[in-house]
Every structure is written in structure tokens, then in C-alpha cells.
Amino acid sequence: MEGWYERRLFNPLMDLALGQPKFQRLREQLLATVHDAPLEIGPGTGLNLPHYPARVRSMRVLAREAELDRRLLERAARRDLAVAHLRGDAARIPLPDASVDALVCTFVLCSVRAPRECLREFARVLRSGGHLYLLEHVRSPRRIELAVQRALTPLQRVVACGCELDRDLCADVESSSFDTRGLMCANSSALPFPASEVLAGIALRR
Ligand SMILES: C[S@@+](CC[C@H](N)C(=O)[O-])C[C@H]1O[C@@H](n2cnc3c(N)ncnc32)[C@H](O)[C@@H]1O
């Protein structure tokens, strides 16, 4: 049932919601400097694919599903991008240590079971100096907004496949083994409240 809900209802809705022009601009800004064949975690319907620079001709995607979403495959075909599917979980990436140059993770850490565990896994597979491209909605630093996020999170978790609005991902990434000087946590007019507080940018594997 959960798989059916995600495939048939959540993914099409997410494709509409996260595919709006404001989100697309954020994706484009984030991915502008991707050079090497990246590894993208939890690509969903492939909304990032049109925003990789033209020099990116191939990539790997890590997804839990046995089959990649039809929209992702269509987006890959439209820009002639070779996509290799790695089946797995963000907390256990089936790749050797230090084997990845660039890892992309957008709107995924809000719904994984343990974000810190995933960040440790990202650090494990990235080589030293490798780039982690992050775009996530996070906990608001403002008291009343956080109270609203906390109140809505139990419902959000159910309707949005585990997504939590009040995760302190900025603190999680600060305490990880990444140089976070290229990241910012800020309120973004591009995203609607209660998901308007954003963590975005490029962290470096130390
Ligand atoms: C809100 S969607 C975002 C999709 C896409 N990254 C984007 O930016 O449009 C969250 C995605 O994370 C994936 N996901 C959630 N938990 C995961 C995990 N533990 N490992 C891998 N992918 C996961 C889901 O399957 C879903 O595709």
C-alpha cells in the first residue's frame, strides 16, 4: 500500500509541487557547478535532471525502488543523459569508500529515517575534497513558526511519506565531517511556509 501511495499519488503531486518555477531556479543555481558524473540520492521524478549543466552526460541515481520513475526516465531521454540506477538506501550506499566526486541530495534528508547516519554515509563515499550539493527545507529558527512546523509534522509525516517539517538539518550538517562554509540556512521566498526555511549550497568533504 505504501509503495502504491508513493508511486501513484505522492510522486505525481510532488512532481507538480516541487516542479514549480521557483523551485526550478533554486535547483538550477545549486547544480550550476556540477562537473563530474554525479551521484544523486533519492531522485524521485527527476526534477533535477534538466538543471545539470550540459557537460554532465552521465550520472548515477540511488533509489530504493526497483524501477525508476517514468518521469525521470523521460527527463533523462529528453536531454540524452545516461542514468545508471543503483538500488539502495541513503544510509547504506552500495559503493566503496571515497569513490564519488559529487553527491547531490535535494529534499531527501527531511524524510530519511536518520539524517546524521546518511550524512556519515555521504562522507564515506565522497573522496576528500568531494562536493555535497544540498537543498533541503529545515526547522525554522523563529519560535512561532517552529511551533506551527511541530504541530503539522505528524500529519505531514503521514501524507508526505515520512517528511518532517521541523528537522534541524543545519545542526546535523554542522556536526558532520563536511566543511560547511559554502552552505547557507535562510528563509527563502521561493518556498512556501511551513517549508520556507532552507538549507542550500555546497559542502566540501574534509
Ligand atoms: C520529496 S522527494 C524529493 C525528490 C527529489 N530529490 C527532488 O528534489 O525532487 C523525496 C525522495 O527521497 C526518497 N527517499 C526517502 N528516503 C530515502 C532513503 N532512505 N534512501 C533513498 N531515498 C530516499 C524518496 O523515495 C523520494 O523520491
Q: 107 CB less than 6 Å from ligand 1?
A: yes
Q: What is the pLDDT of residue 40?
A: 99
Q: 108 CB less than 6 Å from ligand 1?
A: yes
When pLDDT is averaged across residues 97-103 and rounded to a whole number, the result is 98
Q: What is the pLDDT of residue 48?
A: 98
Contacts 24+ apart (CB under 8 A), 60-64: 60/84, 60/85, 60/86, 61/85, 61/86, 62/86, 62/87, 62/88, 62/90, 62/93, 63/87, 63/88, 64/88, 64/89
pLDDT (tens digit per residue) in 155-190: 999 999 999 999 999 999 999 999 999 999 999 988
Cell numbers found for residue 170: 543545519
Q: What is the pLDDT of residue 28?
A: 97
**Phi, psi (deg, nearest 5) at residue 10:** -65, -45
CATH of domain 2-205: 3.40.50.150
For ligand 1, atom 3, the nearest C-alpha belongs to 107
Q: 106 CB less than 6 Å from ligand 1?
A: yes
Q: 39 CB less than 6 Å from ligand 1?
A: no
CA of 108 to the centre of ligand 1 (A): 4
CA of 28 to the centre of ligand 1 (A): 18
- Indicate whether 197 pLDDT > 70: yes
Rounded Cα–Cα distance for residues 85 and 94 (Å): 11
Report which of 138, 133, 149 is spatially closest to residue 188, judged by C-alpha positions: 138
- Indicate whether 154 pLDDT > 70: yes
**Phi, psi (deg, nearest 5) at residue 59:** -155, 165
Q: 42 CB less than 6 Å from ligand 1?
A: yes
Cell numbers found for residue 71: 518521469
Q: 31 CB less than 6 Å from ligand 1?
A: no
Confidence of residue 125 (pLDDT cuts 50, 70, 90): very high
Confidence of residue 116 (pLDDT cuts 50, 70, 90): very high
- Indicate whether 104 pLDDT > 70: yes
CA of 112 to the centre of ligand 1 (A): 8
Q: 44 CB less than 6 Å from ligand 1?
A: yes
pLDDT (tens digit per residue) in 31-63: 999 997 999 999 999 999 999 999 999 999 999
Q: What is the pLDDT of residue 1?
A: 61
Confidence of residue 68 (pLDDT cuts 50, 70, 90): very high
CA of 177 to the centre of ligand 1 (A): 22
When pLDDT is averaged across residues 75-90 and rounded to a whole number, the result is 98
Q: What is the pLDDT of residue 3?
A: 86
Cell numbers found for residue 61: 541515481
In the chain, where are the structural domains located?
Answer: 2-205
CA of 5 to the centre of ligand 1 (A): 14
Q: 111 CB less than 6 Å from ligand 1?
A: yes
- Indicate whether 2 pLDDT > 80: no
When pLDDT is averaged across residues 53-79 and rounded to a whole number, the result is 97
Q: What percent of the chain has pLDDT over 70?
A: 99
User: Under 8 Å CB-to-CB from 12, ≥6 apart: which residues?
Assistant: 45
When pLDDT is averaged across residues 3-29 and rounded to a whole number, the result is 93
Q: What is the pLDDT of residue 36?
A: 78
CA of 89 to the centre of ligand 1 (A): 10
